[in-house]
Amino acid sequence: MTSDFEYRARPGNLALSATAFGVLVLLTAFLWQSVPGLVLLLLIPALCVCFWQIVVTPVYGLHLSPECWHIFEGPRDRSLPARSIAHLRVYDGDGPTRCTIVMTDGTEVKLHHMAVPDPTVLIREATNRGVPVREG
């Protein structure tokens, strides 16, 4: 077992977004000489929106270390001390797998469905770290 496990997922397709941005840049450079008004009116705002979408797209995932579990949920990243995790509850049914981390004080931390890897991988990594897994 390695001491750390990391899983990250990003909605959408980064390669497609970067390609669209590159095409817009080339189109802007090509059309600037002939119709700068069109470029200023349409393509510059389109470039800004495309760049903004690439930058603000959240990244979801988990980073499990022996001391702490980091949950990446876009703007709401959290860290949970591993010693205060009571168990992991996995709901594997129709649709995406839903997981909840239950703390020793009874609070429940629901994980975003994109932050969760394949259920068997998550169960293996949790049990390797001494966290019991329950089916909910």
pLDDT tens digits, one per residue of 65-85: 989 999 998 788 899 999 999
Q: Flag whether pLDDT at 21 surpasses 80.
A: yes
Alpha-carbon distances of 24 from 17, 28, 32, 38, 122, rounded to whole Å: 11, 6, 12, 13, 40
What confidence tens digit (pLDDT) does each residue in 110-127 have? Answer: 998 888 888 899 999 999
**This prediction's pTM:** 0.72
Averaged pLDDT, 28-51: 85
pLDDT value at position 2? 58
Residue reference for tokens 């931390």: 109
Residue reference for tokens 């992991």: 88
Alpha-carbon distances of 48 from 20, 44, 64, 109, 116, rounded to whole Å: 12, 6, 36, 36, 31
pLDDT value at position 85? 95
pLDDT value at position 47? 84
Residue reference for tokens 């259920």: 119
- Which amino acid belongs to residue 94? D
Which two tokens mark 131?
A: 């966290």
Q: Using an 8 Å Cβ cutoff, are 90 and 97 in contact?
A: yes
What confidence tens digit (pLDDT) does each residue in 80-90 have? Answer: 999 999 999 99
